[in-house]
Structure 1
Amino acid sequence: MDQERTPPAAAVFDALGAEYEQAFGGAPAHHHSLRLLLAELAPGSRVLDVGSGTGQPTAATLAAAGHQVLGVDVSPVMVGLARKQVPGADFRHADIREMPLEDASFDAVCVYFSLLQMSRAEQSALLRRLARALRPGGHCVVATVPLDVEGVQGVFMGQDVRVTSFAAEDFTVVVRQAGLAVTHADSLLFTPTHPGAGPEPHLFLHCRREEPRPQG
């Protein structure tokens, strides 16, 4: 992939590498979210980890519990780190927006903070595709920074980024419109372990793919 076609997210996270894990990997709310998910999963569940990063903590936690994890990340550097750190999971270097997803092929999907450099239309479309990739009744966890911003230029851990998100209520509506029923929500402030970092709002939504309604 040449530099001109490299997605901005790939360039940002290639540059951050393991530094991102140091800043966010120990977030208590993220680990709590994973514990909630583990309590819902049947043994050996097939899980898709969108924006899998270094593999920590999501893929590592799920794989250690005996689940079949496929991590997907747009950053080749992150994928390389994940493969070394979590040999019990599979990782693929791909843009999830372009990656084919078979309907009802996963028991769970994790989307931890991996939507923020997509447009609102891309976020909505991807959530609909991910919902279809879940088996009926399957679980989805989505975490984001709930701010009403669109295409805002900023600096994230020293890297220039362009961020798009939704206010918390609007994001919840988008998730529901994708065909996901929200079963649990956590909203909190978190300060990354990084010089100069300040508190940022985090929203965790635990959802299930709605069961098809019986005919007749």
Structure 2
Amino acid sequence: MTSEPAHPSPLAHGAASPAAVLFDAIGATYETAFAGLPEQLAALDWLIDTLAPGSKVLDIGSGTGRPTAERLAAAGHRVTGIDVSATMVELARARVPGATFEHLDARDLADDAGAWDAVCAFFSFLQLPRVDLDAQLARLGERLAPGGLLVFATVPAEVDGVEIEWMGQRARVTSHGTDVLMDRLRATGLEILHQGVSVFHPNHPDTGPEEQLYVYARRSADPQGGATD
């Protein structure tokens, strides 16, 4: 059994963060623009096929709840979605009543070490400052129970606070290149089971094609952090 994490005030970072402002403005348009993303659907299929029944899953940056929370909840898993955008949380609660959604910044989710059987983080950290991005990457393995699973996606690029036009909004993005991202994930005690880069064309007139990195990983069941077979 895994323990329930403790949650501080959800607004410690959330309400004023650039990501909250951005996704409050975008709202349901995001779901339309990124519907049917094949690599995301494949990652969820893998996770559903691999998880034990009734697993506890954290969806970081849960958005409208679709497709991640919706598919996992329909498969019988106990899903908690967190999102910095109050608009996204409201949409998700209406769309996916079988999951729990909290208006919460990932940086404010404390005391959850080993609490989750799986963590999903699809494009969740791109608006964070570099120091916070690195801290969140470092916590991904820590959040998982031994043997727990991660599905992770981002836009791999060596950028730090670069301002772009995205979905009709101004956004500042920060990321790492693929090699650095993989090194950081391995450093958290994760065994990489799959990695792949693809290009997706969002269904939005103001958004061009995106290169996207997808990773499946598992936290070692060995308490000393050794790789599992």
With normalisation by structure 1, the TM-score equals 0.94
- 2:207 pairs with 193, 197, 207, which one? 197
- Does residue 121 (structure 1) correspond to residue 149 (structure 2)? The answer is no
Q: How far does the alpha carbon of each residue in 1:74-111 deviate from its partner, in whole angstroms, 9 at most, with x for none?
A: 00000000000000000000111012132211100000
Name the counterpart of 2:223.
212
Identity among equivalent pairs (%):
49
1:119 CA drift (Å): 2.4
Unmatched tracts of structure 1, length 5 or more: none
Q: Which runs of 4+ in 1 moved over 4 A?
A: none
Partners of 2:187 and 2:204 lie apart in 1 by 35
Instruction: Name whichever of 115-124 and 146-155 sits farther off.
Output: 115-124
Aligned 1:51-130 pairs, distance under 5 A? 51-130=61-140
- 1:141 pairs with 151, 166, 177, which one? 151
Q: How far does the alpha carbon of each residue in 1:153-211 deviate from its partner, in whole angstroms, 9 at most, with x for none?
A: 11110111100011111111111112211111121000101114321100000011123
Aligned CA distance change for structure 1 residues 198 and 18 (closer, same or farther; 3 Å): same
Instruction: Name whichever of 79-88 and 96-105 sits farther off.
Output: 96-105
Secondary structure of 2:175 counterpart: coil
Partners of 2:71 and 2:154 lie apart in 1 by 20
Partners of 2:145 and 2:105 lie apart in 1 by 22
Name the counterpart of 2:7.
none
- Does residue 31 (structure 1) correspond to residue 59 (structure 2)? The answer is no
Name the counterpart of 2:8.
none
Partners of 1:124 and 1:28 lie apart in 2 by 27
Q: Which amino acid aligns with 2:74?
A: A
Name the counterpart of 2:173.
163
Unmatched tracts of structure 2, length 5 or more: 1-10
Aligned length: 214
What CA RMSD, in Å, does the superposition of the two structures yield over aligned residues? Answer: 1.9
Partners of 2:132 and 2:143 lie apart in 1 by 16
Partners of 2:62 and 2:90 lie apart in 1 by 11
Secondary structure of 1:97 counterpart: helix
